[in-house]
Amino acid sequence: MQFAQGSVVSGYVIERELGSGGMGTVYLARHPRLDRFDALKVLSAERSGDAGFRSGFFREAEIAARLQHPNLVTIHDRGEQDGRLWIAMQYIAGTDLAGLLRQGPLDIERALRILDETAAGLDEIHRAGLLHRDVKPANILIAASNGGAERVLVTDFGIARAADDSATLSAHGTVGTLAYAAPEQLAGDTVDHRADVYALGCTLYQMLTGTVPFRREGAGAIIYAHLHDPPPLVSQHDSALPKALDRVIASAMAKQPGDRFESCGAFAAAARDAVYGRARTPARSRRPWLLGAAIIALVAAVTVAAALVTSRDDGAGARKFLAVDPASVDPDRWGVYGYIAELFPRLLPPSQIGAGYQELSICQPMDEGDHQISLFTTVAEVRMVCLGNRDPVEGVDVVCRTDRKAILPGPLLDTVEGDESWQRSSGSGHVFWGHSLDSADFISHPLGQPIGFLEVLFEDSYRNFCRIQVVGGTGGAELRDRWWRDAPL
């Protein structure tokens, strides 16, 4: 049963069909009360009528609706009408990865960036105890932000099954989905998050070659290949691709789950290492705090295990002088750097891979030499590097001295466009802003285009040993107007 334009589903008014598949049909629909459009997925009669599927649908959709991550489509609501299940999601204007791949394979850097962001979204799903179970290009959306940079979002996870659900693909799968199905799904074995790692390996292969890994005639032949045939080599398809990448994809697509990467982020990091070499580290620039592409790649490799830490620094320090409400942070998930999360509770996410101010996420501590460190490693001066949503912020560094000695006033910028003193209920300080044309180190910033910088310094004693450095947009004035004005500091 399809819904025509003007049809009403639980108050949503159907505008047009966006796409359909084995799971159901997606419509652009006007919200019953708010002035906005949502993507409304109405599940097929087969899915809606499956008692086993229905029993977990509302529970898992509710869990998925709590997830807030820059690489996940937001789940708004779910329900049932006339026996048909539906789920309302954030509408993303743009295309999906399947649409991009119809034009041919992607260049290596674009493929790695899409892999990085997809992996970050999937790891967040896994952290919540869910499996996606249907990772494929059609479920990876590509949207352009206001600044023009691509944003990657994973969709259809709101109807994912719980991690302890042993249901297999064979009950409801389609030939299209079979192209990315892990062997254990096809064999009816227990499935965990590593089935999504396998599907992501198939997806990277397709991004680099323009074709699925196992092209066969008929479902039976596809299933046999997943179960028995070795993964094909991308280097044989394109000799310019490094052979080291063959080994990484083969590990992601290993027949046994235990032989695969433990997380999607680990797979993405290994793929980037295979392309650029393990010795590839961010170069020291004349602005040592510059958030470069290599640092972004390291940050994107943060895994769930690193986020779920249990120790903290309870010595004398920031907690004693805290003048802001820390209710939105969970310092136990920040290791010895829990005090930094407490100092900036509404700026930083609750955990490394949550979502903070303007979707700030995927935070990773770095030392003074721009080397990635663990949450348990104490250094004299730590840089907590976090990724922005590129609208307009590329990244935010929170730099703090571990000995809590005051940082000397003054900007690190080469070119300062403006500065001013500031005073808010939480404290006072100084802010500087400027720009640079040296944007080659930024993973998504157009080469040769100016990029903005902004620095925040603090005068109050409980956090004058920290400074905040923001990068993004086309100039410092844009960061001042669109980031600094409402920044929760």
pLDDT of residue 426: 87
Closest CA to 39 of 69, 83, 1, 9: 9
**Contact call for residues 19 and 89 (beta carbons, < 8 A):** no
What single-letter amino acid sits at 473?
G
Q: Is residue 2 part of a domain?
A: no
Instruction: Note whether 374 and 264 are same-domain residues.
Output: no
**Contact call for residues 239 and 217 (beta carbons, < 8 A):** no
How far is C-alpha 452 from the chain's CA centre? 23
Q: Is residue 281 part of a domain?
A: no
Instruction: Note whether 323 and 403 are same-domain residues.
Output: yes
Instruction: Note whether 246 and 309 are same-domain residues.
Output: no
User: In this predicted model, what pLDDT tens digit does every residue of 432-442 receive, in sequence order?
Assistant: 998 875 544 44
Instruction: Note whether 248 and 392 are same-domain residues.
Output: no
Q: Is residue 286 part of a domain?
A: no
**Under DSSP, is residue 45 helix (H, G, I), strand (E, B) or coil?**
helix
pLDDT of residue 147: 56
When pLDDT is averaged across residues 340-367 and rounded to a whole number, the result is 86
Cα–Cα dist 234/30, whole Å? 43
When pLDDT is averaged across residues 356-375 and rounded to a whole number, the result is 84
Instruction: Note whether 266 and 305 are same-domain residues.
Output: no
Q: Is residue 461 part of a domain?
A: yes
When pLDDT is averaged across residues 257-267 and rounded to a whole number, the result is 93
Instruction: Note whether 345 and 206 are same-domain residues.
Output: no
Backbone phi and psi for residue 126, each to the nearest 5 degrees, phi listed first? -65, -40
Instruction: Note whether 83 and 99 are same-domain residues.
Output: no
Question: Does residue 143 have a pLDDT over 90?
Answer: no
Q: Is residue 53 part of a domain?
A: yes
Cα–Cα dist 407/200, whole Å? 44
Question: Does residue 246 have a pLDDT over 90?
Answer: yes
When pLDDT is averaged across residues 203-212 and rounded to a whole number, the result is 96
Backbone phi and psi for residue 403, each to the nearest 5 degrees, phi listed first? -80, 0
Instruction: Note whether 272 and 297 are same-domain residues.
Output: no
- Final residue of a domain: which of 276, 309, 343? 276
Q: Is residue 284 part of a domain?
A: no
Winning range, highest mean pLDDT, from 26-35, 106-115, 125-134: 106-115
When pLDDT is averaged across residues 228-252 and rounded to a whole number, the result is 92
When pLDDT is averaged across residues 124-131 and rounded to a whole number, the result is 89
Q: Is residue 361 part of a domain?
A: yes
- Final residue of a domain: which of 23, 56, 90? 90
**Hey, which residues are catalytic here?**
134
pLDDT of residue 65: 75
User: In this predicted model, what pLDDT tens digit does every residue of 378-411 receive, in sequence order?
Assistant: 889 999 999 888 889 989 999 999 888 888 776 6
Instruction: Note whether 170 and 255 are same-domain residues.
Output: yes
Q: Is residue 3 part of a domain?
A: no
Closest CA to 443 of 270, 319, 300, 324: 300
When pLDDT is averaged across residues 210-228 and rounded to a whole number, the result is 91
Instruction: Note whether 179 and 68 are same-domain residues.
Output: no
What single-letter amino acid sits at 258?
G
User: In this predicted model, what pLDDT tens digit does every residue of 41-75 receive, in sequence order?
Assistant: 888 777 677 776 776 676 667 777 777 888 888 88
User: In this predicted model, what pLDDT tens digit does every residue of 3-32 receive, in sequence order?
Assistant: 888 889 888 999 998 877 767 788 989 998
User: In this predicted model, what pLDDT tens digit does every residue of 145-200 receive, in sequence order?
Assistant: 655 568 899 988 655 444 444 334 434 444 347 899 999 999 888 899 999 999 99
**Contact call for residues 333 and 311 (beta carbons, < 8 A):** no
Domain limits at 328? 293-486
Closest CA to 42 of 106, 6, 9, 86: 86
Question: Does residue 341 have a pLDDT over 50?
Answer: yes
Going by pLDDT thresholds of 50, 70 and 90, the confidence category of residue 423 is very high
Tokens 């970050």, located at residue: 120
Question: Does residue 347 have a pLDDT over 60?
Answer: yes
Instruction: Note whether 430 and 469 are same-domain residues.
Output: yes
Instruction: Note whether 216 and 309 are same-domain residues.
Output: no
Question: Does residue 291 have a pLDDT over 60?
Answer: no
Output the average pLDDT for the chain. 79
Which of residues 279 and 232 earns the better pLDDT score?
A: 232
Domain count, the chain: 3
- Final residue of a domain: which of 276, 304, 337? 276
Going by pLDDT thresholds of 50, 70 and 90, the confidence category of residue 372 is confident
pLDDT of residue 57: 74
